[in-house]
Amino acid sequence: MSRIKKILKWSLIVTLVLIVSIVSFGYWFINLLPKPEISKEELQATLPTDLPYLTENVIEPRGKILAVVTSVGVMGSSGKSTGYELTELSRAYYVFKANGFEVDIASTKGGLPPVVIDGDDMKEFDYAFLNDSIAQGKVRNSIAISTVNPDDYAAIYFVGGKGAMFDFPDNEHIQALLKDYYQSGKVIGAVCHGPAALINVKLDNGRPLLENKTVSAFTNEEELFLIKDAKEIFPFLLQDKLIEQGAKFDEGYLYLEQLSIDKHLITGQNPWSVWALAEAMIAQIGYTPKPRQKSAEENSVSVLITYESKGFDAAKVEIGKACKQNPRSIDRELIAVHSLVATMQLNLGKSFDLIQLLRYSNEYL
Which spans in the chain are helix H? 2-30, 40-44, 52-55, 86-98, 124-130, 133-140, 164-167, 172-184, 220-226, 230-233, 238-244, 274-285, 296-310, 312-325, 332-344, 348-362
Query: Would residue 262 be called left, alpha or beta, if left means φ above 0 and alpha means ψ between -120 and 50 degrees?
Result: beta
Domain coordinates in residue numbering, the chain: 42-285, 294-365
Per the CB < 8 A criterion, the answer to whether 230 and 162 are in contact is: no
Distances (CA, A) of 275 to 36, 94, 307: 22, 10, 21
Q: What is the Cα–Cα distance from 360 to 70, expressed in whole angstroms?
A: 41
pTM beyond 0.85: yes
How far CA 211 is from CA of 188, 203, 251, in Å, comes to: 15, 10, 17
- Residue 22 pLDDT more than 90? no
pLDDT computed for residue 19 by the predictor: 45
pLDDT tier for residue 120 given thresholds of 50, 70 and 90: confident
Quickly name the fold that domain 294-365 has: 1.25.40
Confidence tier at 3 by pLDDT (50, 70, 90): low
Q: Please spell the DSSP secondary structure of 93-114, one letter per residue.
A: HHHHHHTTEEEEEEESS-BS--
Q: Are 237 and 246 in contact (CB under 8 A)?
A: no
How many angstroms separate the CA atoms of 84 and 167, rounded?
12
Spatial separation of the C-alpha atoms in residues 143 and 264, rounded to whole Å? 24
Q: CA 124, CA 133: separation in Å to the nearest integer? A: 16
The mean of the pLDDT values for the chain is 92
Least confident of 36-40, 122-126, 133-137: 36-40
Q: Over range 78-82, report the average pLDDT.
A: 94
Q: What is the pLDDT of residue 365?
A: 86
Give the torsion through C-alpha atoms of 22, 119, 231, 213, to 10 deg. -120
Query: Does domain 42-285 fall into CATH 3.40.50.880?
Result: yes
Under the banding of pLDDT at 50, 70 and 90, the label for residue 37 is confident
CA distance linking residue 75 with residue 132, whole number of Å: 29
Give the model's confidence band at 31: pLDDT under 50 very low, under 70 low, under 90 confident, else very high.
Answer: low
- Distances in Å between the Cα of 268 and the Cα atoms of 261, 279, 281, 329 are 9, 12, 11, 23
Q: Is the pLDDT of residue 212 over 50?
A: yes
Q: Is pLDDT above 90 for 150?
A: yes
Q: Indicate the pLDDT class of residue 172, thresholds 50, 70 and 90.
A: very high
pLDDT digits (tens, 9 = 90+) for 262-281: 999 999 999 999 999 999 99
Tell me what pLDDT residue 30 has. 57
